[in-house]
A and B are shown apart, each in its own frame.
Chain A
Amino acid sequence: MSAPALALDGVSRRFVKPLDLAERAANLLGAGRRAQVVRAVDGVSLDVAPGEVLGLVGESGCGKSTLARIASGIMEPSEGAVRIEGANRAGLGREARRRADLAVQMVFQDPMGSLNPRMRAGDIIGEAPLVHGIVGRGELADYVAGQMRLVGLDPALRDRYPHQFSGGQRARIGIARALAVKPTILVCDEATAALDVSIQAQVLNLFAELRRSLGLTLLFVSHDLGVVEHISDRVAVMYLGRIVEEATTDALFARPNHPYTQALLAEVPRLEARKRRFSALKGELPSPLAPPPGCHFHPRCPHAFDRCRIERPALREVAPGQRAACHLNDEATRSSSRA
């Protein structure tokens, strides 16, 4: 089998809030204050095969955006390696690194926040390919027109500014900009979250179409299970910096293994024709500053037992193509082998 298009290998990212002056002064007096460390991403390994769409879901604060930034090369991991088509990005020479960085592009949630308000749409899309020598100045106009058509924008709108476009059109500009440097991998961070449902449907269809026509590999990060289920081949579920489950979309939605995945699926509102009784997972997402020991999910888990409070469960295969990090799976094998 060929190397994965994108591989994350034991990737972690820590953010440290250094001690301020008062705290350092207090330490001189023996207060023993320590810098606060957040492990936003904690030992994550993921592979995305060429041409595959991997959905990454999780609630706010779970570290999915940090992971997206690491995957796209905007942020360096504190530990671990990111491999683009098999090559460790950190070990690449200057030119190879530049190519690897161009190969992975990111599409952001808020088109208004990620498009320069004082640049015309055509310049936003054309700037990077020009700088990177993908097109010459002479062919630039045609190239930009082609990119705009690719994402369903009328090239006649190239001289407009971002605020003159609708939300859906701005999302398309963001996609065109990412595609303009001919990436093989797109990392989409909540790329449709700010859009109305009817516009979101247009953009999701566009992603599906682009993936087919350009053979793109997608890492699709979202909090919206419906969106992820619709677009992904495989799905990874993240909770407080860790992947708790990873499986093909069908398996994950038909047979979720991890109690957190099960709770998420149970609570996603679905279009249905009658009233339902909402049940609720207890508790809140704990602070990433002080994650619970052992399995991060244990304080909210209905099945937690002693081991969950002490030992971090490893991601293990629970069915072909499905991995989950839950001690209950060990219990199940133990009791069945005993029987």
Chain B
Amino acid sequence: MAPVLEVRDLTVVFDTDAGPLAAVNGVSLSVGRGEVLGVVGESGSGKSVTGLALLGLVDPPGRIAGGSILFEGEDLVGRSEHEMRRLRGARIAMIFQDPMSTLHPVLRIDTQMIEAIEAHESVAPAVARGRALAALERVGIPSAAERLAAYPHQFSGGMRQRVAIATALLNRPALLVADEPTTALDVTIQAQILAEMQALQAETGTALIWITHDLSVVSGLADRVAVMYGGRIVETGPVAAVIERPVHPYTAGLIGSVPSRNRRGVPLAQIRGHAPALAQMPPGCPFHPRCERASALCARTMPSAASYGPAHEAACHHPLALPEAA
């Protein structure tokens, strides 16, 4: 079965006085129906820009400079804004870290949700209202019928994020891109949202791209994970393979940085230095200034991806495991 989304060599640049800077540099990824792809990276890794590019939401000075975004077999790169508007909110939807940036502060929830349905389909108001109600109930909002008439500020942070999720799922999209949707939430609320996301996905079969800085969230939720650094995917593979047998030193460093019970009292395996700014992206492998295994080669050329197991790839000159024979 063809994947819902297949991205090949996507490059997004920002035009600056110093010339174009690549925030996303040759990213390839795919996600199938009912699948969850976790995209993990720290600030400045290009993970959010990748997510925005999928929906055609990169605004100037940013632009897609190369590559293709095949969604249900058709390339989205170069589509007009009008065409993208018809897709967004219908076939592809997005949720953000801060639901207040999605919800209109002075419109009632029902107004906003019904509008989202009517923008893509001509249905009777009563039908649209019924669907909005059902969507709120599905994401676990208590007394949904009354809450429909409420304003966004009358909800708590967790409830607001649920409203944003319900709105995103209104038109049963084939693909949902979620950018750090639980980062601002408390643990117990995050767990509620993750539980509901899993249930919803099992029910609707929506392909899900979950963008986060938190490897622990992704490890429990995703089927596959892509680790980004300096605008590139440095390692990708099934969650079990990447977590248990990381190949790229950055992935291994990230895993070692996660504080947990079995390492109490022992120093965390930290990564030295900090992530480079876009304007100071080092040549060669972007990770080499922080990498313990870096050599002169790493400072010169960007390594190409090699295979380390079924669907497990990494781009490193000095990987922690031997690549499979091609």
Determine, out of B50-58, B69-77, B254-262, the stretch whose residues face the partner at the interface: B254-262
In the bound complex, what is the Cα–Cα distance between A184 and B260 (angstroms)?
27
The reply to whether the CB of A277 lies closer than 8 angstroms to some CB of chain B is yes
In the bound complex, what is the Cα–Cα distance between A188 and B320 (angstroms)?
36
* A74 contacts across to B, CB distance below 8 A: none
* A284 contacts across to B, CB distance below 8 A: 156, 158-159, 189
* A59 contacts across to B, CB distance below 8 A: 186-189
The reply to whether the CB of A148 lies closer than 8 angstroms to some CB of chain B is no
Q: Are B257 and A273 in contact (CB under 8 A)?
A: no
- Residue from the list A205, A264, A271, A277 in contact with B260, Cβ < 8 A: A271
Q: Are B240 and A201 in contact (CB under 8 A)?
A: no
* A267 contacts across to B, CB distance below 8 A: 187-188, 190-191
Min distance, Cβ A151 to any Cβ of chain B, angstroms? 14
Within 8 A of A (CB), among B83-113: none
The reply to whether the CB of A253 lies closer than 8 angstroms to some CB of chain B is yes
Q: Are B259 and A273 in contact (CB under 8 A)?
A: no
Q: Are B239 and A274 in contact (CB under 8 A)?
A: yes
* A224 contacts across to B, CB distance below 8 A: 259
The reply to whether the CB of A328 lies closer than 8 angstroms to some CB of chain B is no
A196 touching B189 in the complex, CB below 8 Å, given contacts A278-B194, A278-B220: no
The reply to whether the CB of A168 lies closer than 8 angstroms to some CB of chain B is yes
Within 8 A of B (CB), among A184-228: 196-202, 204-205, 208-209, 223-227
Q: Are B220 and A270 in contact (CB under 8 A)?
A: yes
* B191 contacts across to A, CB distance below 8 A: 266-267, 269, 278-281
**Considering only CB atoms, which chain B residue lies closest to A227 in the complex?**
B259
In the bound complex, what is the Cα–Cα distance between A298 and B50 (angstroms)?
43
The reply to whether the CB of A231 lies closer than 8 angstroms to some CB of chain B is yes
- Residue from the list A230, A253, A269 in contact with B220, Cβ < 8 A: A269
**Considering only CB atoms, which chain A residue lies closest to B42 in the complex?**
A196
In the bound complex, what is the Cα–Cα distance between A269 and B197 (angstroms)?
15
Q: Are A273 and B239 in contact (CB under 8 A)?
A: yes
Min distance, Cβ B192 to any Cβ of chain A, angstroms? 4
**Considering only CB atoms, which chain A residue lies closest to B191 in the complex?**
A267
The reply to whether the CB of A162 lies closer than 8 angstroms to some CB of chain B is no
In the bound complex, what is the Cα–Cα distance between A208 and B186 (angstroms)?
26
* A200 contacts across to B, CB distance below 8 A: 257, 259
In the bound complex, what is the Cα–Cα distance between A280 and B211 (angstroms)?
21
A198 touching B264 in the complex, CB below 8 Å, given contacts A264-B188, A271-B243, A277-B198: no
In the bound complex, what is the Cα–Cα distance between A199 and B240 (angstroms)?
24
* B192 contacts across to A, CB distance below 8 A: 280-281
In the bound complex, what is the Cα–Cα distance between A60 and B156 (angstroms)?
12
Q: Are A276 and B187 in contact (CB under 8 A)?
A: no
Within 8 A of B (CB), among A163-194: 166-169
Q: Are B264 and A197 in contact (CB under 8 A)?
A: no
The reply to whether the CB of A275 lies closer than 8 angstroms to some CB of chain B is yes
For the complex, count residues of B whose C-beta is within 8 A of A. Answer: 50
Q: Are B221 and A277 in contact (CB under 8 A)?
A: no
Q: Dominant SS at the B interface? A: helix
**Considering only CB atoms, which chain A residue lies closest to B43 in the complex?**
A196
* A166 contacts across to B, CB distance below 8 A: 274
A230 touching B274 in the complex, CB below 8 Å, given contacts A197-B215, A272-B220, A278-B198: no
Q: Are B188 and A229 in contact (CB under 8 A)?
A: no
- Residue from the list A168, A197, A271 in contact with B213, Cβ < 8 A: A197
For the complex, count residues of A whose C-beta is within 8 A of B. Answer: 47
- Residue from the list B223, B254, B274 in contact with A275, Cβ < 8 A: B223
- Residue from the list A168, A204, A264, A270 in contact with B268, Cβ < 8 A: A204
Within 8 A of B (CB), among A136-180: 166-169
Contact with B along A76-120 (1 / 0, CB 8 A): 000000000000000000000000000000000000000000000
- Residue from the list A167, A227, A271, A281 in contact with B219, Cβ < 8 A: A271
**Considering only CB atoms, which chain A residue lies closest to B142 in the complex?**
A283
In the bound complex, what is the Cα–Cα distance between A196 and B198 (angstroms)?
26
* A285 contacts across to B, CB distance below 8 A: 156, 186, 188
Q: Are A276 and B259 in contact (CB under 8 A)?
A: no
The reply to whether the CB of B216 lies closer than 8 angstroms to some CB of chain A is yes
**Considering only CB atoms, which chain B residue lies closest to A198 in the complex?**
B271
The reply to whether the CB of A251 lies closer than 8 angstroms to some CB of chain B is no
**Considering only CB atoms, which chain A residue lies closest to B196 in the complex?**
A280
The reply to whether the CB of A263 lies closer than 8 angstroms to some CB of chain B is yes
In the bound complex, what is the Cα–Cα distance between A230 and B266 (angstroms)?
9
In the bound complex, what is the Cα–Cα distance between A205 and B223 (angstroms)?
32
Within 8 A of B (CB), among A227-279: 227, 229-231, 249, 253, 263-264, 266-279
**Considering only CB atoms, which chain A residue lies closest to B194 in the complex?**
A278
**Considering only CB atoms, which chain A residue lies closest to B256 in the complex?**
A201
Q: Are B259 and A230 in contact (CB under 8 A)?
A: yes
* B187 contacts across to A, CB distance below 8 A: 59, 223, 225, 264, 267-268
A226 touching B268 in the complex, CB below 8 Å, given contacts A278-B195, A278-B198: no
* B59 contacts across to A, CB distance below 8 A: none
Q: Are B159 and A273 in contact (CB under 8 A)?
A: no
- Residue from the list B42, B43, B221, B263 in contact with A230, Cβ < 8 A: B263
- Given A278-B195, A278-B198, 13 more A-B residue pairs with CB atoms under 8 Å apart are A196-B213, A196-B275, A208-B267, A231-B259, A231-B264, A263-B188, A264-B187, A267-B191, A270-B260, A273-B239, A275-B223, A279-B195, A280-B195
List 20 contacting pairs A-B, 8 Å CB cutoff, sorted by A: A59-B186, A196-B43, A197-B258, A198-B275, A199-B274, A201-B268, A201-B269, A204-B259, A204-B268, A205-B268, A226-B260, A229-B260, A230-B259, A230-B263, A264-B187, A271-B243, A271-B258, A272-B216, A278-B195, A279-B195
Q: B-side interface residues toward A, CB under 8 Å?
A: 42-43, 156, 158-159, 186-192, 194-196, 198, 213-217, 219-223, 239-240, 243-244, 253-261, 263-265, 267-272, 274-275
Q: A-side interface residues toward B, CB under 8 Å?
A: 59-60, 166-169, 196-202, 204-205, 208-209, 223-227, 229-231, 249, 253, 263-264, 266-281, 284-285
Top 5 A-B pairs ranked by shortest CB distance? A230-B259, A201-B257, A267-B191, A59-B186, A196-B42
